[in-house]
Amino acid sequence: MNFAQHYFVTNYFQQISAKDFGDDFLWGVAMAAAQNEGAYQDYGKGESIWDVYAKKNGKIKSGHKHFVAADFYHRYKNDLLLVKALGFTVFRFSISWPRILPEGTGKINKEGILFYHRVIDECLALGLTPFITLYHWDLPAALEKEGGWTSHLMLKWFARYVTICADEFGGKVKNWIILNEPFGFTSLGYMLGKHAPGKRGLNNFFSAVHHAAMAQAEGGRIIRKLVPKAYIGTTFSCSKIIPNSDKQEDVFAAQRVDILFNRLFIEPTFGNGYPKDDFIFLDKLEMHSREWKYRERLQFDFDFIGLQNYFPLVVRYNPIIPMIKASQVKPGKRNVPLTDMGWEINPQSFYEIIKQFAAYHNVKEIIITENGASFKDKLVNGEVNDEERIRYFHQHLNALLQAKKEGVKIKGYFAWTITDNFEWSEGYHARFGLIHVDFKTQLRTIKNSGYWFRDFLRKE
């Protein structure tokens, strides 16, 4: 048993509190516009790719739609009061691109601008630090008609949108996140077709990857230029990739998956280009994108990176899978604890993936910008007793603290998420919130995990 394994066997339930992380540690919650706001065609907002996708039969579980969602647009004041009441000091939210620019470019929607000013002002009045995410998956549908993330015009479109946001909100907001999980929206939306806009194929994927990687850096440069004293980051989905055995073929399969899941978007920001070593598949990406021509434009010196981790992946060699020649060994077959979505609960892998990213010498600071779990929450007599979620947070925060004690420059932790919301293709079935939402009445009920965080964050 190695040190990390021994630590997690013996210290899963070590009693800790927010004080152990230091006085300057950032404690927050995160949410996204498309998942929470509602008002999907009101107040001048344009149509997003998720608005279009949700109208297609069979795309979202049970035919759920996000058109009202958690109605944050009308209830933001009360929801921000709840964030404050639970003891958090940071509120991470995203701006809806089509609410600012209904056609993606062209005329600005003043009502959209005013809405985000109201949200920001309310945060500041409550003593909450706003962290803005510029792109959290809700591309204007008008731009998707022109190719969306596969279009060579994306950099021009994105630059204008970022410039507007920086000019409008940069005087009040100093903390900026450029993209949310670029591997997530490029793979699920442009290769596998499981998320909006529902495109498939490697050509779509390669184009979307390259344009997202370019936009990630360009967005950072724009914020740096226009917002004095800005603290700029971008977020990466990440999973510890574990080979199913010590066999060389499984080990190499895990390395290939790691390149896609964990290295594809971060390494270009360092000026190294795409991580092609040991994976001929990415030679095709380089040829497709002429990456050598754009290597300098892919680079940006971020102040921090956001890591978003939910589960590890165990993989094995599978010769019938094209290119990657690897497949997941599903956790249900391995007798491990699972969330309601079938995701493996593994705080040790959380610790290990943090250490993996911290090993890049270019990384200045790390913020865990998303971490959380979905369980079958039930409201009984006005209470949601979600002990599994409390255990999940307790274990993962222990893992985080261990990494911090070992010298990893971890600046903060943002729980996903404050209220139950629209969980993309899972619809309303997956509940991640610290606060239960009755989507028929919009009644909010703080779950026991919310109260647990309140006590955890208490400064007395």
Cα 374–379–382 angle (5° rounding)? 135
First to last CA, the chain: 38
- Structure tokens belonging to residue 137: 């998956």
Our measurement of the distance from residue 113's CA atom to the centroid of its chain's CA atoms, rounded to an integer in Å, reads 23
Helix-helix angle 3-10:387-405, to 10 degrees: 140
Instruction: Compute the distance between CA of residue 342 and CA of residue 340 in angstroms, rounded to an integer.
Output: 5
Q: Letter for the amino acid at 293?
A: K
Our measurement of the distance from residue 240's CA atom to the centroid of its chain's CA atoms, rounded to an integer in Å, reads 16
Question: Which residues are CB-neighbours of 219 under 8 A, at least 6 positions away?
Answer: 134, 135, 158, 159, 162, 178, 179, 234
Kindly list the catalytic residues. 181, 370
The SS3 assignment for 90 reads: strand
Our measurement of the distance from residue 219's CA atom to the centroid of its chain's CA atoms, rounded to an integer in Å, reads 17
- Structure tokens belonging to residue 437: 């939402």
Instruction: Compute the distance between CA of residue 128 and CA of residue 382 in angstroms, rounded to an integer.
Output: 28
The SS3 assignment for 371 reads: coil
- Structure tokens belonging to residue 363: 């990384």
> Which residue shows structure tokens 């998420």?
417
Contact 339, 374 (CB under 8 A): yes
Instruction: Compute the distance between CA of residue 260 and CA of residue 287 in angstroms, rounded to an integer.
Output: 17
Give Dmax over CA atoms of the chain in angstroms: 62
DSSP codes joined into one string, 334-359: TT--B-TTS-B--HHHHHHHHHHHHT
- Structure tokens belonging to residue 113: 């601008």
> Which residue shows structure tokens 């109260």?
451
CA dihedral for 334, 338, 343, 347, sign (positive or negative): negative
